Amino acid sequence: NAGVTQTPKFQVLKTGQSMTLQCAQDMNHEYMSWYRQDPGMGLRLIHYSVGAGITDQGEVPNGYNVSRSTTEDFPLRLLSAAPSQTSVYFCASSSPRTGYGYTFGSGTRLTVV
């Protein structure tokens, strides 16, 4: 199994540009989440979903949109990139059936100039 697949691995954007970070999982997990990780600040939750058609905000949702049309896919959209969004982004999936432990993707390193 591939687990959680994130694309792209690296991206450089100019301020004001928009883009979509892709995330797909093949484990039939109900829950999916997007986190950002900044040096010295741990993982901060951006948005999460408990199932297809259901999304909710995490602690740092401003500037980001998500949708979940299928169980497998959970894309993260940056609406108008800002330098403050320079970070490493991780997508993760989990399930109550497996004790809520996350499987993480390998991350997207985003730089906004």
Partner 1 sequence: TQLLEQSPQFLSIQEGENLTVYCNSSSVFSSLQWYRQEPGEGPVLLVTVVTGGEVKKLKRLTFQFGDARKDSSLHITAAQPGDTGLYLCAGARLWAGKSTFGDGTTLTVKP
Query: What dihedral do alpha carbons 52, 88, 25, 54 form, nearest 10°?
Result: -10
Select from 14-22, 65-73, 74-82, 103-111 the region that touches partner 1 (CB under 8 A): 103-111
Tokens linked to 67: 């949708």
Q: CA-based diameter of the chain, in Å?
A: 42
Single-letter amino acid, residue 57:
Q
Complex with partner 1: residue 17 or 103, whichever CB lies closer: 103
Given a contact cutoff of 8 angstroms between Cβ atoms, the answer to whether 5 and 72 are in contact is no
16 binds partner 1 (CB under 8 A): no
Tokens of 94: 């989990």
Contact segment (CB under 8 A) with partner 1 among 12-20, 62-70, 74-82, 96-104 equals 96-104
Number of residues that bind partner 1 (CB under 8 A): 30
Question: CA dihedral in degrees (59, 102, 20, 88; nearest 10)?
Answer: 70
Binding mask 34-73 for partner 1 (x = CB under 8 A): -x----xxxx-x--xxx-----x-xx--------------
Q: Which two tokens stand for residue 28?
A: 């039939």
Residues that bind partner 1 (CB under 8 A): 4, 30-31, 33, 35, 40-43, 45, 48-50, 56, 58-59, 90, 92, 94, 96, 98-107
